[in-house]
Every structure is written in C-alpha cells, then in structure tokens.
Amino acid sequence: MTMPDMSVDIAGVKLKNPVITASGTCGYGREYLTFYAPEELGAITVKCVTLEPREGNPPPRVAETPGGMLNAIGLQNPGARYFLENELPWLKSRGATVIVNIAGNTVEEYVKVAELIDESSSDMIELNISCPNVKKGGIAFGVDPAAVEAVTRAVKGAVKKPLIVKLSPNVTDITEIARAAEAGGADALSLINTLLGMKIDVKARKPLLANMTGGLSGPAVLPVAVRMVWQVSRAVKLPIIGMGGVHDTESALEMLMAGADAVAVGTAMFYDPYAPIKIRDGLLRFCRENGYRSPSELKIKE
Ligand SMILES: Cc1cc2nc3c(=O)[nH]c(=O)nc-3n(C[C@H](O)[C@H](O)[C@H](O)COP(=O)(O)O)c2cc1C
C-alpha cells in the first residue's frame, strides 16, 4: 500500500499536513507547547495583530452555547511590534509555518500592519475582514463586496507574502464576497469567521455578554461552514482553508470533500487541545485505508 502524501500547497507555501489552528484559539502558540510541538501541524495561525496594542472588550466576553460558544474578545492583542519582537521569533525558531492574522479599522491601518508583518519571518498573512470600517459608519469590511475588494487590493499591493482573505459568514451571498476578494488579488481564502449571535442571562434578564452580541463558533456551526466552503469552492479558483466547527476527523473530511484544500481547528482546541493532532492522524489513516494518495483527491467533483 502506498503511503499518501499529506502535504498541501496553499498559494505556493507547502504545509506538511492540511491541519492548521484557527486564529484566536491558540494565542501565539506557546500555550500549546505543553501538549505538543506547534511544528507538528501544517501551520499555526496566530491571534490577530493590529498596529497598536488593544485591550479588547470588557468581560463577560465568552459564553457556552449548545454545541459551541460565543465570544466577543474584541481583537485583544499586544500590537504588531511587540508580536514581531517577542512572539514570532520563538514560533519560527521551532520550525512552525506561521500565518499571521491581521486586523484594522481603516484600509490604511490594514496596509501599515501588513507592511510590518511582510518584513518578518512569517509565512503568510491572513486578513481578518470582520472588523468595523470606521470610515463607513462602522459596518464590517467583510459584508460589503466593494470594501472587501478595496482592502484586499490595497494590502496585496503592499506585500510580497501570500495573502489569505478570511471571509465573514454574516452575509446573504458568500460567493459574492469571495469573488470580490479574488478580484482584489487574494492568493487564498479562509472561511468561516464566527456567526453573529447573542445569549440572554435569564436570571439577570439581560444579555450575557457585556458587548451584547458575540461570534458563534464550534461544532454547532459546522453545517453552515461546510455549505459555504462548497459554494465558494465552486465560485472561485483560489485555494481554500475551511474552518468553522471542525472538531474531529469526520468533520475535517467533510470540509475537504466540500472543496477545502486544508482545514483549521478553532473552538475544539479549548476542550481538546489534541484535536488537531488527532485530526492529522485520522486524515492520514482515512486516506491510507481508502486509497486516496493526497487530501486533494477527497474533493467532490461536480
Ligand atoms: C475566542 C476566539 C477568538 C477568535 N479570534 C479571532 C481573531 O483574532 N481573528 C480571526 O480572524 N478570527 C478569530 N476567531 C475566529 C476563528 O478563527 C474561527 O474562524 C471561528 O471560530 C470558526 O472556527 P471554529 O468553529 O473551529 O472555532 C476567534 C474565535 C474564537 C472562538
């Protein structure tokens, strides 16, 4: 029996396997060192970085929900310069492939932080476009095709590293947004970010999160994410990193069969830090036992 080759190519970057961590769910990698070496995974996507440090939203900012969780962390991070000096060198010294998730409130801010990251040893840049566009009354970049194309084009024009655009699912037609990112010059897409949700504290008779609303993630969102990956993979030619509810081998297989080239594991890390490793091993086993020579052969063609 031939051993499958589990490496995947995302916009010219070779990942040793198709399992990545999702931004915001493993910090900058250090916390997971007690469980396994970060370089065992295809790549580590770090928590978002912004130009200046941010404190994030006041607590409570996370809540459990059926099959998932809500979060309203609010892009808390120590800022790009601190990250580049104190976090990235360690992660790179381990041999990990690193995707840096960046955020901003204006196109100019995105460009500035992207330029800083582009000068670093990181491997790819992921654009989190689920942020409010302060020049457009706070409406998120990611829900407006024109804004998605504009921010993608501006960042792409300023960097040499491959650019992944991370799509927000809080839209009517995800394919329209995916095409806008492709038109702006994205090298790859990742999806989905969290779905806007809310939880009420019935004893207090008020919203549980201080921010009122938050982003829903975890196994509960898997079918939505699989549907969107399916649609987007048929609308654009770009490589896709599928995420949203991936928590075991079967859910990862669903993503890859729907059209993803790699998967990212997020919320599942909180209750099972080994989930990405188990998925990596489970995918290899599945491919070997069923005669697939690479993860790309799993895609449903039609
Ligand atoms: C606590 C938490 C923090 C997150 N922070 C970020 C972030 O900084 N940038 C980003 O693009 N996505 C962020 N996300 C979204 C995840 O990367 C992922 O897209 C989403 O949670 C869906 O995957 P999952 O269901 O496997 O968690 C965050 C999610 C959670 C739960």
DSSP 3-state of 163:
strand
Alpha-carbon distance of 222 to 219, in angstroms, equals 5
DSSP string, 14-34: EESSSEEEPTTSSTTSGGGGG
pTM, 2 dp: 0.98
- Regarding the beta carbon of 21 and ligand 1, being less than 6 Å apart is answered no
Ligand 1 neighbourhood includes 77 CB (under 6 angstroms): no
Nearest 5°: CA angle at 67, between 254 and 38? 65
Q: What residue's CA is closest to ligand 1, atom 28? A: 24
Separation CA 73–CA 57 (nearest Å): 6
Ligand 1 geometric centre to CA of 23 (Å): 5
Please list the pLDDT of the chain residue by residue as tens digits (302 residues).
Answer: 679 999 999 999 999 999 999 999 999 988 887 899 999 999 999 999 999 999 999 999 999 999 999 999 999 999 999 999 999 999 999 999 999 999 999 999 999 999 999 999 999 999 999 988 878 887 899 999 999 999 999 999 999 999 999 999 999 999 999 999 999 999 999 999 999 999 999 999 999 999 999 999 999 999 999 999 999 999 999 999 999 999 999 999 999 999 999 999 999 999 999 999 999 999 999 999 999 999 999 999 97
- Angstrom distance (rounded) from CA 113 to CA 272: 32
Is 131 an active-site residue?
Answer: yes
CA atoms within 13 A on the CB side of 68: 22
Q: In degrees rounded to 5, what are phi and psi of residue 295?
A: -60, -30
CATH of domain 8-298: 3.20.20.70
- Ligand 1 pocket check for 71: Cβ under 6 Å: yes
Rounded to whole angstroms, the Cα distance separating 6 from 46 reads 22
Pocket test for ligand 1, best of 126, 217, 265 (most atoms within 8 A of CB): 217
Packed helices 249-258 and 222-233: angle between N→C axes, nearest 10 degrees: 30
Q: Is 249 in the pocket of ligand 1 (CB under 6 A)?
A: no
As to burial, measured by CB atoms within 10 angstroms (0-12 exposed, 13-18 middle, 19+ buried), residue 300 is exposed
- Cα 266 to ligand 1 centroid, rounded to whole Å: 6
Cβ of 243 closer than 6 Å to ligand 1, yes or no, is yes
Q: Which ligand 1 atom sits nearest the alpha carbon of residue 69?
A: 31
